[in-house]
Structure 1
Amino acid sequence: MATNTSITLGDHFERFIASQIASGRYNSRSEVIRAALRGMEEQERKAATIAMMKQSMEDIRAGRTRPAKAALRQIAEDLGLHLGR
């Protein structure tokens, strides 16, 4: 459900939004703002992935690992898949 929201951006961002519309890339202020928010969402996803990878590397360095076969079997079990032995 779409809602109207009032925000104050300042001259810099007002000019940036106007330039994006003038370039033809976007048709409205709303499109520019939605694109910016999608970019922020993507940054958050990437940051979460990087944090998870860093934690995984730390776990590996600390010896907190298990054989891949056992890990894959656990994943399959968690997904409700029954693999043959």
Structure 2
Amino acid sequence: MNKLLVSLIGVPTLGAALLGCTGSSVQTSERRGDLYEAAGPTAAGLKCPAEAPTLLLDRGPRAQTTPYENRLRRERYESQLKACKEKAQ
């Protein structure tokens, strides 16, 4: 009975521990380069951003970025969008 109880408690605990260890590597493997670097050219030959970038969580105990980095991403997107519109005209 004692071995069964240890097995029933130990297996889920070990599984949760292994999942917890791999969780951080999944987050760090995200691509953080230029959002539109891999985008193909449009009909006009320009690489215009298709949609606004998804900003990472910048507050709380598990913040993935800072508000400053999100502001830089937003400004970069707006400048790329403005340059694309200017070239298209």
TM-score range, shorter chain: 0.3 to 0.5
More helix by share: 1
TM-score when normalising by structure 2? 0.32
